[in-house]
């Protein structure tokens, strides 16, 4: 990574514009009207990629310093796929309130905040509290990026298998950041028969000892009325989405409905090995690049922030996320098949399509400022 100027600096005249006295005129303009900072500084095209290093990839809690390469990599993807400048920041803090206070103080330098690799349930609290205190988009990619791409692939898998969204029975294994976000975006898209499973079994209103977030999920997903363990929930289910990192035996997935859909997204080892999944499912997706149908967050976050920054959105709404997912799913078009339910990250149509859908949704949802 590097920082590069967009203006020439060849002589004394250039220097007088790029630094003193030229910058003073810009400072005075912003002091008179803070909104013009979006026009005269990097704010309108720059995102902070911020972590505490507590849940890095599959490596776990390795701390802020060791997490920095991932933040740098994320920043490169922002630029490569969305034309968005991003600055990696690793914060040496674990208290959620202190984390939020720190980011709030940094926020004037950025047009958006991408939270990354923060452990659950702290990530939920941080995202919610931070968005309440800043008027720029706050987006936890481990939650919502995964959810957007999962929904996009699922919409196409449902079309391929002839299922109606409202009748589809979905089981999510994992109630961490990704699992909770996937549950909520599926509900926002019309899924009603939904069960979320953790180590203790199906999360339902009658279960004791639930965290506040899991208690919300229990209430929100109570319509289907499933209880018991994962194998019980999978009995007759149409869709399995794994974001847990555990292992699901073949005896459990063979209980699913005909033409099942299995998204086993744990990396590097999927919850259900693709060879096993294909014996019992018509559509199989993983988080890996060496199998078809990779659920890769890079399909979502560059275009989403591109669109949000373009309209100077104050936040990312559920409507913007669903719009991004639908735009992704529509790119597959007539090429839809069991091995192609989601486009490639290198499809040049992806980021523009997502950005356009996000811009339109931000305006519909009343969070756009231009």
Q: Which residues are catalytic?
A: 19, 74
- Residue 267 assigned as binding residue: yes
Residues 6+ apart with CB under 8 A from 51: 64, 67, 70, 71, 89, 90, 91, 115, 116, 117, 118
- Residue 297 assigned as binding residue: no
Counting beta carbons within 10 angstroms of the beta carbon of residue 346, is it exposed (0 to 12), middle (13 to 18) or buried (19 or more)?
exposed
Task: State the DSSP string of 65-115.
Answer: HHHHHHHHHHHHHHHHHH--EEEEEE-----HHHHHHHHHHHGGG-SEEEE
- Residue 117 assigned as binding residue: yes
CA distance 135 to 330: 31
Total Cβ atoms within 10 A of residue 204: 20
Q: How far, in Å, are 25, 287, 298, 343, 364 from residue 354 at the CA level?
A: 37, 20, 11, 12, 15
Closest CA to 329 of 172, 149, 198, 147: 149
CA distance 258 to 237: 9
Closest CA to 291 of 266, 256, 314: 266
Is the Cβ–Cβ distance between 149 and 302 less than 8 Å?
no
- Residue 156 assigned as binding residue: no
CA distance 245 to 223: 26
β-bridge partners, 194: 170
Residue 362, preceding peptide bond in cis (omega within 30° of 0): no
- Residue 318 assigned as binding residue: no
Task: Indicate the annotated binding residues for (S)-malate.
Answer: 267, 296
Task: Indicate the annotated binding residues for a divalent metal cation.
Answer: 116-117, 142
Task: Indicate the annotated binding residues.
Answer: 116-117, 142, 267, 296
């Amino acid at each position: 990574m590097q920082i590069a100027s967009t203006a020439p600096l060849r002589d004394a005249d250039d220097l007088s514009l790029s630094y003193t006295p030229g910058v003073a005129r810009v400072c005075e303009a912003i002091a008179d009207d803070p909104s013009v900072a979006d026009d005269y500084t990097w704010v309108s095209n720059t995102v902070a990629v911020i972590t505490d290093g507590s849940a890095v990839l599959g490596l776990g809690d390795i701390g802020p310093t060791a997490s920095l390469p991932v933040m740098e990599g994320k920043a490169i993807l922002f630029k490569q796929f969305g034309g968005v400048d991003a600055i990696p920041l690793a914060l040496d803090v674990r208290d959620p309130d202190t984390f939020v206070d720190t980011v709030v103080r940094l926020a004037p330098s950025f047009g958006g905040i991408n939270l990354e690799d923060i452990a659950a349930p702290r990530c939920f609290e941080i995202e919610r509290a931070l968005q309440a205190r800043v008027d720029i988009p706050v987006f936890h990619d481990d939650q919502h990026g995964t959810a957007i791409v999962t929904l996009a692939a699922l919409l196409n898998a449902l079309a391929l298998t002839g299922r109606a969204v409202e009748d589809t029975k979905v089981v999510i294994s994992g109630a961490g950041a990704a699992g909770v976000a996937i549950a909520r975006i599926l509900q926002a898209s019309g899924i009603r028969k939904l069960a979320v499973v953790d180590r203790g079994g199906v999360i339902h209103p009658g279960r004791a000892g639930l965290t506040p977030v899991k208690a919300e999920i229990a209430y929100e997903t109570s319509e289907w009325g499933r209880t018991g363990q994962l194998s019980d929930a999978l009995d007759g289910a149409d869709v399995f989405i794994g974001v847990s990192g555990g292992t699901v035996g073949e005896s459990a997935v063979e209980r699913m409905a005909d033409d099942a859909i299995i998204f086993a997204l744990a990396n590097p080892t999927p919850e259900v090995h693709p060879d096993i999944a294909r014996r019992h499912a018509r559509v199989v997706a993983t988080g890996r690049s060496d199998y078809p149908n990779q659920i890769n967050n890079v399909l979502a976050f560059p275009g989403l922030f591109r669109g949000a920054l373009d309209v100077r959105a104050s936040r990312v709404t559920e409507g913007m996320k669903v719009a991004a997912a639908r735009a992704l799913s529509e790119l597959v078009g007539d090429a839809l098949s069991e091995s192609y339910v989601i486009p490639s990250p290198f499809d040049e149509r992806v980021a523009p399509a997502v950005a356009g859908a996000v811009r339109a949704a931000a305006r519909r949802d009343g969070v756009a400022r231009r």
